[in-house]
Amino acid sequence: MTILVIAEHDNKALAAATLNTVAAAAKIGGDIHVLVAGQGAGAVAEAAAKIAGVSKVLNADNAAYAHQLPENVAPLVAELGKGYSHILAAATSNGKNILPRVAAALDVDQISEIISVESADTFKRPIYAGNAIATVQSNAAVKVITVRSTGFDPVAAEGGSAAVEAVAAAHDAGISSFVGEELAKSDRPELTAAKIVVSGGRGMQNGDNFKHLYALADKLGAAVGASRAAVDAGFVPNDMQVGQTGKIVAPQLYIAVGISGAIQHLAGMKDSKVIVAINKDEEAPIFQVADYGLVADLFEAIPELEQLV
């Protein structure tokens, strides 16, 4: 069995989610190869070669792969993937964009967002916004799978010494082009990788009030998240959204501030180790999943909390 892991990267650095995906591959067992598809991503390929447990890195360097457009990258992965038993990618917006296109090209069904490996062909994944866990078995010749990062502890980024091999295959479908991107800038830890996450909801009342959460987060070294209500109301940008349709997080500590706790929000954070809820409505559903609940006005509680930690 040989497993192909698609590296998550921005042509400059390897994203941490790749380490969780390699961890899932290691649980399946067998040789692990990593594909870096991009342009001028030599540093990424070198970083991938150092990941513990990786035996080979395939570096597909081509202008057509620069922005990892699925129309160009998916045929590459499908072509390379035919010789593998499994193709794995992180369930990031990139992985979700590309991998189903690969699966269809290989005429197999994909298994999305696995949270555990039961055996080489059987996996667990959440359905219905995390309210049920399905065990899915695949009889596909090539098993195409996306991996939920929070389900697997990352493997060590150092310690491996895989060979890097250049891949010449060029696929340019010529039907799509990259126009531009606008990335939110933040000095805080990345939401999906942070040990502590502080999230605000509609109860924050406006975007300006998020400064209280930023102050608390900076003191804790935490990332700041938000509920859909806070994003829809324009308080914060949408890449901060935690939930079924946003990011899935599982930090050591999740502090939900002014968040009622709708099913769709819980889907994104209920695997956190410790959940704290601060809400003035003691009937709010968030208290049903919170380890520690504080019924209080957040505008008094948050500054006090910031003082005390």
Partner 1 sequence: MKVMAAVKRVVDYNVKVRVRADGSGVDLANVKMAMNPFCEIAVEEAVRLKEQGIASEVVVVSVGSPGAQEQLRTALALGADRAILVETDDALGSLAVAKLLKAVVDKEQPQLVILGKQAIDSDNNQTGQMLAALSGYAQGTFASYVEIREDKVTVAREIDGGAQTVSLKLPAIVTTDLRLNEPRYASLPNIMKAKKKPLEVLTPGALGICTDSTNKTVNVEAPAARSPGIKVKSVAELVEKLKNEAKVI
Site for partner 1 in 187-216 (CB under 8 A): 192, 196
Q: Which 90-149 residues touch partner 1, going by CB under 8 A?
A: 92-94, 96-105, 107-113, 122, 126-140
Q: Which amino acid is at 305?
A: L
Q: What angle do CA 83, 84, 86 make, to 5 degrees?
A: 155
Q: Which two tokens stand for residue 56?
A: 């080979």
294 binds partner 1 (CB under 8 A): yes
- Single residue of 228, 235, 256, 268 touching partner 1 by CB under 8 A: 228
Residues in the interface with partner 1 (CB under 8 A) total 89
Tell the smallest beta-carbon distance from residue 24 to partner 1 (Å).
17
State yes or no: residue 220 binds partner 1 (CB under 8 A): yes
CB of 199 to partner 1, least distance (A): 15
DSSP state of 241: B
Smallest distance from partner 1 to CB 159, Å: 27
Element (H, E) at 58: strand 56-61
- How far apart CA 48 and CA 158 sit, in angstroms, is 9
Q: Is residue 281 part of the contact set for partner 1 (CB under 8 A)? A: no
Q: Find the part of the chain contacting partner 1 (CB under 8 A) among 47-55, 88-96, 149-157, 197-205.
A: 88-96
Tokens 């197999």 map to which residue?
A: 108
Helix axes 70-81, 93-105, angle to 10 degrees: 60
Residue 240, classed as helix, strand or coil, is helix
What is the x/- site pattern for partner 1, positions 16-55, by CB under 8 A?
----------------------------------------
From the list 182, 209, 216, the residue with the least C-alpha distance to 308 is 216
